[in-house]
Structure 1
Amino acid sequence: MKRALALVLGLLVLVGVAVGYSTFAAGRDDASTVERRPLDLAAAGRLVFVDTTRGGGHRTVAAAGLAAPGDTRTDSGLRCERFATGAGIGVCLQTRGGPLPGTDAVILDQGMNVRRRIELAGTPSRARVSASGRMVSWTVFVTGDSYNKTGFSTWTGIADTRTDYTLLNIEGIPLTVDGKRYRSADVNYWGVTFAADDNRFYATVSTKGHTYLVEGDYANWEAHTIRENVECPSLSPDGTRIAFKKRSGKTTWRLHVLDLATMRETPLAEHASIDDQAAWLDDDTVMYGRGHDVYATPADGSGTPRLLAADAASPTAVR
């Protein structure tokens, strides 16, 4: 009886070792693909995005031709939850395990080599790179802020890739609301988008149950509100309009485009609730995550939404 029990225990140990080794080997193989298939982030004519086709929740950066992004895609193997790129610079938001889980903002060069890794708290939410590649921003959801009754808040950071100067949380920027200097413990920022001069930026700020579009001045380090009920702004390539999500219910949003010269809002033809920071495919087209796919729709409110890339998220058009 004892010998039989010992034999069973021994078999269990061997099975455990085998399973453990298989898991380790699979992890090692997955890690090796990161170095084996890098993308050229400056190569024009492509849509770069987060590929969600892998099983087990693994998301990796991939690219496909802009002319037919639904066709063959190239998978870099780099694991990212959110990704953005501009002028050959990329930012990848990776979840970090361990006793204190968090997020790493990984800044990449043109060949997807790691230039810098910034350790953050929270879980990935938004990522952006300016058109020149100089300015990088990210947003994470965090817990534990005493002022936040819902149990989470956002931290948004900005990094200058030329100087490496980094602000892990921009909540301290002097803020003007409706023409008056504003201070409150519950101020949260998210969804930064940069202008072509790498100085002006737009973002969402929330406070006291209201959300606003703010315009920021990086050099003078100040920001002011310009419109209410604007979330996750995305500046058009020509710098004249902002695509954003506008709250239409407690947990629903409708995509709109705001003309910055006239402040006229145009609802887009997408009627589904979109909880994403949209991006611009070109000056006339907005793209965004809907479900597990990326869709596109005309920026003037006409037309019909179309599937741009299946099993994809967080797109950037490289032109």
Structure 2
Amino acid sequence: MTRSHRLLVLAVAVLLLGGVGAFLVQRAASRADRPHTGGPEATAGSVGLGAGRKSLAFLGSGPGPHRGALASVPADAPDGPRTVSDLTCRRFHAAAGTGVCLRSDPGALAQDNKAVIVDTELRQVRSYPLAGTPSRARVSPSGRFAAWTVFVSGESYGSAFFSTRTAILDTRTWKLDANLEEYAITLDGRDHRAPDVNFWGVTFAGDDDTFYATLSTAGETHLVKGSVSRRSVTALAKNVECPSLSPDGTRIAYKKRVRAGASLWREHVMDLRTLRDHPLAEKRSVDDQAAWLDDRTLAYALPADGAADRTDLWTVPADGTGSPELLTSAASSPARLG
């Protein structure tokens, strides 16, 4: 090969490599400009909590600008295009036009964490300081009461040492019971007081007074039935965590610890009339307060495969039949609206 031929080959190679490099750079830039990568389509817009919308609201858990933002989809198209609001939360729940948003900025001090009450158009109505890291949130079916739980120390219910603080707020009078540990406790038919008492996972009945929650004391967890007006709770059953009352008010879905001393739970449903329970078809460990989409179906969050910082929403029949099904990816804190 002559010298001129070698120079020609070299020039062509340089041009080809330059073209490939430019193409790769352009493609990478194009991907970076996209609002999401690999997840459901998301568009900024108006998200409301009003009746009649027949929608599913949740928090986005995927990477990108919509992480933690409240989103909604039509109830009959849960994995379809999302409408995303500018309200961001760590935990969220809503009912009857009232929402509770637990906020916590990464690295923020505990006193900077807030519970924000929003109206049907997501406008802030009131806010309250939180004593720790957001964990659970619930609104009563009428929208009158909101409850939240935070970790005061520790970051997991599976930790050897943790403390929680649970509050109930009346959104009509704005009376705040800032710590359920001040309520009277009846355990095994006797008054109970102990320094190790913790409450978490409130769920409300439809009478604007009755609620259920988890009580932890002496190394055991209990399902308790409470009254806001009487400021009291009574223990009903053991080994019940993060209860969720069915829309018809007859059953409790909850996570049941299946191995002592380990962070392993199995979702169960309990009949409140008989206190008999049955396991659900979901056999993975669910560390969440499940939500009822209707009287037959439960939704809950599980870590996404290969993504420790993302959760997906799954559903399972409440009667113990069937099998788990993916509801929508990159999401948490589901609430059925309308």
**Is the Cα contact below 8 Å between 1:38 and 1:112 reproduced in 2?**
no
Number of the residue aligned with 2:209? 199
- Please say which structure displays the higher CA radius of gyration: 2
Offset of residue 54 of structure 1? 3.5
Offset of residue 56 of structure 1? 7.7
CA distance in 2, matches of 1:204, 1:188: 8
Kindly report which structure 2 residues correspond to 1:1-319, keeping only aligned pairs within 5 A, or say none: 37-43=45-51, 44-55=53-64, 58-96=67-105, 98=108, 102-143=112-153, 150-249=160-259, 250-291=262-303, 292-319=311-338
CA distance in 1, matches of 2:110, 2:169: 23
Offset of residue 221 of structure 1? 1.3
**Is the Cα contact below 8 Å between 2:114 and 2:127 reproduced in 1?**
yes
Offset of residue 68 of structure 1? 1.2
CA distance in 1, matches of 2:314, 2:192: 38
CA distance in 2, matches of 1:225, 1:244: 15
CA distance in 1, matches of 2:235, 2:201: 14
**Is the Cα contact below 8 Å between 2:46 and 2:83 reproduced in 1?**
no
Moved runs in structure 1, 4+ residues, more than 4 A?
A: 96-102
Question: Matched residue of 2:104: which SS?
Answer: strand
* Residues 1:99 and 1:45: Cα distance change in structure 2 (over 3 Å): closer
Question: Matched residue of 1:175: which SS?
Answer: strand
* Residues 1:49 and 1:99: Cα distance change in structure 2 (over 3 Å): closer
**Is the Cα contact below 8 Å between 2:137 and 2:149 reproduced in 1?**
yes
Offset of residue 101 of structure 1? 5.3
CA distance in 2, matches of 1:41, 1:178: 41
Deviates more, 1:73-82 or 1:224-233: 73-82
Please, which runs of 5 or more residues in structure 2 have no aligned partner?
Answer: 1-43, 304-310
Return the TM-score normalized by structure 1: 0.84
1:235-294 Cα shifts (integer Å, max 9, x gaps): 000000000000012110000000011211010000000000001010001111111101
CA RMSD of aligned residues (A): 1.7
CA distance in 1, matches of 2:257, 2:108: 36
Offset of residue 76 of structure 1? 0.5
Deviates more, 1:55-64 or 1:301-310: 55-64
CA distance in 2, matches of 1:195, 1:69: 26
**Is the Cα contact below 8 Å between 1:102 and 1:122 reproduced in 2?**
no
**Is the Cα contact below 8 Å between 2:72 and 2:82 reproduced in 1?**
yes
| Letter of the 2:312 counterpart | D
Please, which runs of 5 or more residues in structure 1 have no aligned partner?
Answer: 1-35
Alignment length, in residue pairs? 280
Deviates more, 1:236-245 or 1:56-65: 56-65
CA distance in 2, matches of 1:70, 1:193: 27
1:114-155 Cα shifts (integer Å, max 9, x gaps): 0001011211100000110000000000129xxxx9453100
Question: Matched residue of 2:319: which SS?
Answer: coil
**Is the Cα contact below 8 Å between 2:68 and 2:90 reproduced in 1?**
yes
**Is the Cα contact below 8 Å between 2:110 and 2:130 reproduced in 1?**
no
| Letter of the 2:90 counterpart | E
Identity of aligned residues (%): 49
**Is the Cα contact below 8 Å between 1:95 and 1:101 reproduced in 2?**
no
Return the TM-score normalized by structure 2: 0.80
Number of the residue aligned with 2:24? none
